[in-house]
Structure 1
Amino acid sequence: MRFARTALGLLLTLIGLVVGVAGAAAAFWLVGPDNTISTGGRSLTSDGLAVVTAPDLLDRHGPTLRVSVTGSKPLFVGIAQDLDVADYLAGAAHTRVIRYDVPSTISTQTMNGFENKLTPPGDLDWWVAKSGGTGGQSIAWPMQDGRYSVVVMNADGTPAVDAKVSFGIELHRSFGISLLVLGAGIVALTLGIALAFRRPSAASDAEDVDAVTETGTAPVRSDSPFAPVGRVPAMLDDVPAYRAPDVRPVEHVTADEATETLAVIAQPSSTPAVSAAPHQAAVLAGPNAPTQALDPTTPATPAVPAPVAAPARQAVPARQAPGRSTPGVQPLRSAPMLMSPAAVARAKSRAALPTTTAPAAPLTTPTPAWDAEGAAQPTRQAEPTPPAETLPLDESPEFVKSDEAVKRTAALLASGALLLTATSCGLMPPKNNLTVPDRRPAVTVIDAKAVVTKYNEVNNKANATRDDKLAATIESQPTLAQTLAGFQIGRKLDAAGKATDKPFTFTDPVVGAPEFAAYPMRFVVTSGVSGAAGTRQLGVWERESAGAPWLLTHSVYPGQSIALPAMEGVRTPSRADVTNLATHPTAVAPTLAAYLSGGPKAAEAKAFTPSPGMAKLLEQRAKSKVTDAAESYIAAVSDTFKPAGTPVTFITADGEGLVFLALTEQYLQRVEPGSNAYWTSGEATAFSSMVKYTQALHQDYLHQIALVIPSKTTGGPIRILSMDGQLVGAGGS
């Protein structure tokens, strides 16, 4: 038991020391009160355009990533999905951080490429976290599952990056758990020291009890409670020990026997002391010891004085000096320090020490009272005390308590270790487990509304000044072609600039943002139009690459009476989605062109439900044909529509196809032989004026159409939502 306790104590001491040091280091050096594990400032430079981390470095999610940068130039720091970062830096020279080894080793790789200025990163909206400008910059981002990269650049997108970067991971409750580990280490260390270096107690007592059980004799020492009664001065220490005679119950002792016993006691003896009770011999050796026990049933007889054969001082047993061994006497170890008072009393009782022979009744007769003449007075003898019960060691209360204490200690330590392990494992962020390619919505709703707001501002400025370059920063084909044609017509017909368009804005935009895994990316918006209560705008914004701005590519203006599809749940079409449509999107444009070219009576007309604007256009073209053909210099008139560009298709939440496409129209007038014709007025003069043509005159239009293709389940004709055209050219031959 002592060995087990000592071994457990040493083990706990070692564990407590290690755990305590680890907890202190984690709490006050590694983590700190802000729960953040930081790399400290590290200098990162690049001759290229950026310093970027490889997506494999951010391979866990859950905790908060903190990045701080400082430098001599205005810097930008941002975090984004790898599909955006890779496209943004494609072909550009930059430095990639490919490895980080604790505590401070960073490995980089130089990626060669062009060093032309990039779009300033702060102008892009696909960063999930960003900060830029002068002074130190910092960001905090809850890490998400997927492939993400950290990018550090000059704020203006120029090359030669020089920054001091600090990375940190904020682990929730890590500081508190570190303190808990430190406290657990201190408790284990204290408990281990207490167990390993505690004075021997219960185990020693168990050994003594085992010795008594085997020999039947209780070991005695001079300062033990079992030592002979009476204190002897130090000058008597050299008196040899006396031999205590065998003692039997005094109620049967006669006067002669008592006299003989006193004579024997008074004589020195070289025989080793036996285990008889020494206090009984001391009583019988008194100066007035009785020679006959008093029987309660018989009259008392006078005491007979016994002759003294030796001086009285020799009758006193010699006190054994400390450290001096006496033959036949075994030292008795003290009672355990942690024993209860009752246990100590039982250990001191001779009745608790068994013998090999039948136990004799202890002498409990009190010392007789003496009258003034020295005569003994009768006293009543006490009843004999039965011997105390002796328990086996493994059943003793002290052994059981000690064993239970060790078990409780072990259980407590096991529970604490399990708790610390569980809490510590909870600190370890889970690894990223996305197996599908990176996909994300093309834009957030907030960013999409910001794009629309910016468009409103820039578009009104461009319209007011008919600035082609400014318009090109917010629009792309085919919308840009219509806008530039309108500017050209305006400059021709209103050279003074007095008839500029009235400013307008798109109001209350509703965004549909499909997910994309690569560029280009698009989103759809439907909104109101200020100053036109009966009209709405339905448009597509597209970003060609990660570094490109959002541009309005398709824009139509359906009336309020047209039911538009819901923007929620709009997605890019899969092969299954396209198969489920009643008509393939690529086949719609040729069919619609044939319908428009042939007019309302065309065979393809039954496949469509025209919008009010489309029906009005067909009606106008029919009237124009009749009017122009009546001219004497016009031999014939034709109106031909052709597909232009590639349709843009989305799938709605109902499984229908929302398609945006463009058609070109050429309205051709054939000139009679021998005649000539030219444009003298109107919008066509912006493209061709006062040029005489002898064969034909033509006007070229660009139309944008938005339509809905029903699914095979729903069925029905294709619904034209809006058709909006603009004259983009004119001339002849």
Structure 2
Amino acid sequence: MRFVRVTLGLPLALVGVVVTLAGAASAFWLVGPDSTVDTGEQRLTSRGLAVATAPNLLDRHGFTLHVTAASSRPVFVGVGHDLDVSSYLGRSAYTRVVRFDLPSDFATQEMKGATGRLNPPTGLDWWLADAAGPGERSAEWETEDGAYDVVVMNADGTPGVDATVTFGVELKGLFGICLVVLGVGLILLFLGVWLLLPRRRQPGATSTPTQQQTTPYAGAGVQYPLVPQAPVSPPPVKPVEAPEEERQPVAPPPVKPVGAPVGKEQPEPDEPEDEPTRRPEPVPGIPPQYQAPAYSPPRLKRVGGLLTGGMLLLTATGCVAIPQQNTSSGPVTRAAVTVADGLVAVQKYNELNNRANQARDAKLSEAIETGPTLAMTRAGYQIGRKTDEAGKDKVKPFTYTQPSIGAPQYGSYPMRFVVASGVSTSPDSKQLGVWERATAGDPWTLKYSVYPSASMKLPPLEGLRTPTKADMSKLASLPQTAAANLAAYLTGGPQSPQAALFTPSPGTDSLLNQRAKDKIADTKKPYIATAIDTFRPSGDPLTFITPNGEALVFLALTEQYLQHIEPGSNAYWTSGPPTAFSSYVKYTQTLHQDYLHQLALVIPAKGQGKIQILSLDGQLVGAGGS
């Protein structure tokens, strides 16, 4: 058994030493109580605008990523979806980290492009984690399944990045696992040393294990060994015959085992009460006191149980700590905006829009408006500066109240979301608008803004989505076709064939009635021969599909109100809004006023009724003649 203990104990001791050292080094040097492994400080530089990781570099999730950056200039460090980061950096020059080998080997690739200053990253709401400022800045993020990038750049968006960066990976329970490894190593080392230590002999054991102990058995005249051995045929012994009268059976005297003290019984070896001892089958012809007991290894069983349990615990805890491989596939999409970020965009618009209105500052409006809304705002400011030079008739400050947000899923830019809200200064109307972000580096701007009546039922915004071909095929009319028919309806008036396709809003009826009155009044003037009113679609409609399958459509129409001048006469603008664009310029052929209108429509499914005009809102944007 000495050989068995050495054979088992020596490997256990050696493995215990290795595991103990590995567990101690991992727990107190590589990891630490925060369960984080980091790369140490690495210097990353770029002549371009940023240093960004490739989307396939973070190919696992289920851990917390820590990124710390320090620079002589205010630095920005952030984590974002690759969909946003790619759009933000766009065609700019930057350095991409394409490979990372533990512990600190980076491989980079220079991405060529423009070096013009980017919009500062700190004003963008799509960062999942970010920090900016002078000195050392840190960001942490619970990794998710998908394509995500880490970006380090100057906080002001200028080129020339030179920063010291540390990447850290925090695995929950990693420090505990290292302690488990350390504990298992100590157990293995202890067991190995315990097996290698010599054992005390049991009382009564012979000094030489290989000696054969025998005792005579008088009844048979043969010596039988106390330890089982291969049967040996005893030599034949011729018994001495006694006289017949003396041949009587005599009981053999009791025989003590060899080596036992005289007058004392051989003590039995100690055995654990809870461990049964296996004994061999009795050998026929040998008295029970000469049968050898079997060896039972209870301590080795316990050693095996401890080893098995420790390895199972180590394996189980280790598997839990391993980050999972990313599995997301197919087109990557996300909601255009969170509800919280959408509310922030509306609040920012309320603040800047009131400031711009008071100053009639079109430059300030460019930060919060775009498309037809910005065009109408610019025209309104121009008219105001002309007709109200004293600044007494400015727009009263207002806010959009209790906004409700519908944010469809997008896989690319531009992204948009829809807002329905009240108007603080007009309880009889609502506001329905579309906010747009052209690229990830741009702010949210209001592109379409209409004002339906407060009594108008608006479609639900929850669950709003961008249309598919299947959605479009189910509609009563395609949005482009609806826009063309609407222009024809407004041009021809209520008597036009296209009027039967629409349910007009109160503002639509009001506009048509006013234009009819203007035509009658203008043609009564001696210098006006005829008046023609023409509407045309402007740009492509924006379409969203509601949960019930209807289409919520936003579009713009241009209107030209054209007056033909009588031959031999001339005409010019002397007062009113048209003077902001043409004042006291005499025309001999025509006069024209140009309007821009924004509309919101609801196109039902086939066979579900007419197209509903939710709102039509216009603004004079030009005037002149020929």
TM-score tier after normalising by the smaller chain length? 0.7 to 0.9
Q: Give matches, 1:587-606, under 5 Å.
A: 587-606=481-500
Find the counterpart in structure 2 of residue 448 from structure 1.
Answer: 342
Give, in angstroms, the shift of residue 6 of structure 1.
2.8
CA RMSD of aligned residues (A): 2.7
Give, in angstroms, the shift of residue 446 of structure 1.
1.3
Question: How many pairs align?
Answer: 579
For the Cα contact (< 8 Å) 2:93–2:111, is it kept in 1? Answer: yes
**Secondary structure of the structure 1 residue equivalent to 2:135:** coil
For the Cα contact (< 8 Å) 2:593–2:620, is it kept in 1? Answer: yes
- CA separation of 1:468 and 1:196: change in aligned 2, threshold 3 A: same
- CA separation of 1:445 and 1:275: change in aligned 2, threshold 3 A: closer
- CA separation of 1:469 and 1:406: change in aligned 2, threshold 3 A: same
Q: Which residue identity does 1:88 align to in structure 2?
A: Y
Q: Give matches, 1:318-357, under 5 Å.
A: none
Q: Which residue identity does 1:104 align to in structure 2?
A: S
For the Cα contact (< 8 Å) 1:75–1:134, is it kept in 2? Answer: yes
**Distance (Å, rounded) in 1 between the aligned partners of 2:283 and 2:391:** 132
**Secondary structure of the structure 2 residue equivalent to 1:389:** helix
- CA separation of 1:59 and 1:357: change in aligned 2, threshold 3 A: closer
Give, in angstroms, the shift of residue 195 of structure 1.
1.6
Find the counterpart in structure 2 of residue 629 from structure 1.
Answer: 523
**Secondary structure of the structure 2 residue equivalent to 1:541:** strand
Q: Which residue identity does 2:164 align to in structure 1?
A: K
For the Cα contact (< 8 Å) 2:551–2:604, is it kept in 1? Answer: yes
Q: Give matches, 1:539-618, under 5 Å.
A: 539-618=433-512
Find the counterpart in structure 2 of residue 105 from structure 1.
Answer: 105
Cα deviation per residue 1:400-445 (whole Å; 9 max; x = unaligned)? 3x1x432332233122212211110110110111112221111111
Find the counterpart in structure 2 of residue 69 from structure 1.
Answer: 69
- CA separation of 1:618 and 1:208: change in aligned 2, threshold 3 A: same
Q: Which residue identity does 2:424 align to in structure 1?
A: S
**Distance (Å, rounded) in 1 between the aligned partners of 2:519 and 2:62:** 69
Q: Which residue identity does 2:395 align to in structure 1?
A: D
**Secondary structure of the structure 2 residue equivalent to 1:73:** strand
Match of 2:398 among 504, 510, 513: 504
For the Cα contact (< 8 Å) 2:214–2:258, is it kept in 1? Answer: no
Find the counterpart in structure 2 of residue 424 from structure 1.
Answer: 318
Query: Is 1:689 aligned to residue 574 of structure 2?
Result: no
Cα deviation per residue 1:165-208 (whole Å; 9 max; x = unaligned)? 11111111111121111111101110121123343758x88966
- CA separation of 1:356 and 1:22: change in aligned 2, threshold 3 A: same
**Distance (Å, rounded) in 1 between the aligned partners of 2:397 and 2:211:** 109
Cα deviation per residue 1:301-336 (whole Å; 9 max; x = unaligned)? xxxxxxxxxxxxxxxxxxxxxxxxxxxxxxxxx999
Q: After alignment, is 119-128 or 410-419 more displaced?
A: 410-419
Q: Which residue identity does 1:677 align to in structure 2?
A: A
For the Cα contact (< 8 Å) 1:58–1:148, is it kept in 2? Answer: yes
Find the counterpart in structure 1 of residue 610 from structure 2.
Answer: 717
**Distance (Å, rounded) in 2 between the aligned partners of 1:565 and 1:596:** 24
**Distance (Å, rounded) in 2 between the aligned partners of 1:113 and 1:200:** 81
Q: Give matches, 1:293-372, under 5 Å.
A: none
**Distance (Å, rounded) in 1 between the aligned partners of 2:536 and 2:12:** 88
Q: After alignment, is 108-117 or 204-213 more displaced?
A: 204-213
Find the counterpart in structure 2 of residue 31 from structure 1.
Answer: 31
**Distance (Å, rounded) in 1 between the aligned partners of 2:269 and 2:45:** 70
For the Cα contact (< 8 Å) 1:217–1:275, is it kept in 2? Answer: no
| Greater strand content | 2
Cα deviation per residue 1:611-652 (whole Å; 9 max; x = unaligned)? 111111111111212222222222212111100011111111
Query: Is 1:389 aligned to residue 289 of structure 2?
Result: yes
Q: Which residue identity does 1:86 align to in structure 2?
A: S
Query: Is 1:177 aligned to residue 71 of structure 2?
Result: no
Give, in angstroms, the shift of residue 127 of structure 1.
0.7
Give, in angstroms, the shift of residue 2 of structure 1.
4.3
For the Cα contact (< 8 Å) 1:215–1:356, is it kept in 2? Answer: no
Q: After alignment, is 209-218 or 462-471 more displaced?
A: 209-218
Give, in angstroms, the shift of residue 210 of structure 1.
7.4
For the Cα contact (< 8 Å) 1:215–1:355, is it kept in 2? Answer: no
**Distance (Å, rounded) in 2 between the aligned partners of 1:575 and 1:201:** 90
Q: Which residue identity does 2:289 align to in structure 1?
A: E
Cα deviation per residue 1:454-507 (whole Å; 9 max; x = unaligned)? 111111111111111111111111111100110111011011212111111111
- CA separation of 1:216 and 1:708: change in aligned 2, threshold 3 A: same
Give, in angstroms, the shift of residue 209 of structure 1.
9.5
Q: Which has the larger radius of gyration?
A: 1
Find the counterpart in structure 2 of residue 258 from structure 1.
Answer: none
Cα deviation per residue 1:346-366 (whole Å; 9 max; x = unaligned)? xxxxxxxx99999xxxxxxxx
**Secondary structure of the structure 2 residue equivalent to 1:126:** coil
Q: Give matches, 1:519-538, under 5 Å.
A: 519-538=413-432
Q: % of aligned pairs identical?
A: 56
**Secondary structure of the structure 1 residue equivalent to 2:49:** coil
Q: Which residue identity does 1:589 align to in structure 2?
A: A
**Distance (Å, rounded) in 2 between the aligned partners of 1:599 and 1:420:** 81
For the Cα contact (< 8 Å) 2:76–2:130, is it kept in 1? Answer: yes
Q: Which residue identity does 1:688 align to in structure 2?
A: S
For the Cα contact (< 8 Å) 1:2–1:200, is it kept in 2? Answer: no
**Distance (Å, rounded) in 2 between the aligned partners of 1:595 and 1:134:** 60
**Distance (Å, rounded) in 2 between the aligned partners of 1:276 and 1:476:** 110
- CA separation of 1:212 and 1:680: change in aligned 2, threshold 3 A: farther
Q: Which residue identity does 1:649 align to in structure 2?
A: T
- CA separation of 1:496 and 1:278: change in aligned 2, threshold 3 A: closer
Find the counterpart in structure 1 of residue 236 from structure 2.
Answer: none
Find the counterpart in structure 2 of residue 707 from structure 1.
Answer: 601
Find the counterpart in structure 1 of residue 95 from structure 2.
Answer: 95
Q: Which residue identity does 1:514 align to in structure 2?
A: P
Find the counterpart in structure 2 of residue 142 from structure 1.
Answer: 142
Find the counterpart in structure 1 of residue 359 from structure 2.
Answer: 465
For the Cα contact (< 8 Å) 2:333–2:410, is it kept in 1? Answer: yes
**Secondary structure of the structure 2 residue equivalent to 1:660:** strand
**Secondary structure of the structure 2 residue equivalent to 1:14:** helix
Find the counterpart in structure 2 of residue 729 from structure 1.
Answer: 622
**Distance (Å, rounded) in 1 between the aligned partners of 2:105 and 2:269:** 57
Give, in angstroms, the shift of residue 717 of structure 1.
0.7
Query: Is 1:216 aligned to residue 224 of structure 2?
Result: yes
Find the counterpart in structure 1 of residue 245 from structure 2.
Answer: none
Q: Which residue identity does 1:722 align to in structure 2?
A: S
Find the counterpart in structure 1 of residue 130 from structure 2.
Answer: 130
**Secondary structure of the structure 1 residue equivalent to 2:149:** strand
**Distance (Å, rounded) in 1 between the aligned partners of 2:259 and 2:156:** 107
Q: Which residue identity does 2:224 align to in structure 1?
A: G
Q: Which runs of 5+ in 2 are unaligned?
A: 216-221, 228-256, 274-281
Cα deviation per residue 1:368-411 (whole Å; 9 max; x = unaligned)? xxxxxxxxxxxxxxxxxxx7634444xx3xx23x1x43233223
**Distance (Å, rounded) in 1 between the aligned partners of 2:31 and 2:142:** 18
Query: Is 1:46 aligned to residue 46 of structure 2?
Result: yes
For the Cα contact (< 8 Å) 1:97–1:108, is it kept in 2? Answer: yes
